[in-house]
Amino acid sequence: MNVHELPDRPRAERRWIGIGVVVAAGILLVQIVGGLAREALTDAPSRLELVQTCLVERDTPFEDVSADPIAQSASRGAIRTTVGGNAVTIALAGSESEAQRLVDAYAAVSSAEIVGTLLDRRRKVVFLWSRVPTTAERDFAYLCTLDAQS
């Protein structure tokens, strides 16, 4: 065994370890950049579009809420529809605190009876019914807003 070969062997190993670390870091960086690019380019539907799609799939027409400034202030949008003959305004908030702000705004301009019976909040979604909803009507509205509640 040559004495001059011993120092070269650890140096060669360190070089290959360094190359391996650089390659692994490069692969990780490419994965991160690719994921960010895919996320930025994905044309995912908005929460409002998901609710509208659910209503369309169930042959339930809807319209804008141009006459309701409180619902219009919801950051994710709002629509008006009829479920089982019961008209309902659905306001989609961006957070639970925003949803509570919408409920408070309705409470400020409504009677206690309306707030207690016709106004409903489910996480980030606020419902304002024209009459007390049945369980089936409420369940239908909850179903079509599941994606918006998160």
Q: What is the pLDDT along the chain (150 residues), one digit of tens a residue?
A: 555 555 566 777 888 888 888 988 888 888 888 877 776 677 788 999 999 999 999 999 999 999 999 999 999 999 999 999 999 999 999 999 999 999 999 999 999 888 989 999 999 999 999 999 999 999 999 999 998 887
pLDDT of 106 reads: 96
Are residues 136 and 84 in contact, defined by beta-carbon separation less than 8 angstroms? yes
pLDDT of 4 reads: 53
pLDDT of 117 reads: 94
At residue 118, what is the residue type? L
C-alpha 23: how far from chain center: 36
pLDDT of 143 reads: 95
Are residues 93 and 126 in contact, defined by beta-carbon separation less than 8 angstroms? yes
Q: Measured at the alpha carbon of residue 29, what is the angle toward residues 26 and 31, in degrees to the nearest 5? A: 110
pLDDT of 44 reads: 83
Structural domain spans, the chain = 3-41, 47-149
Query: pTM above the 0.85 mark?
Result: no
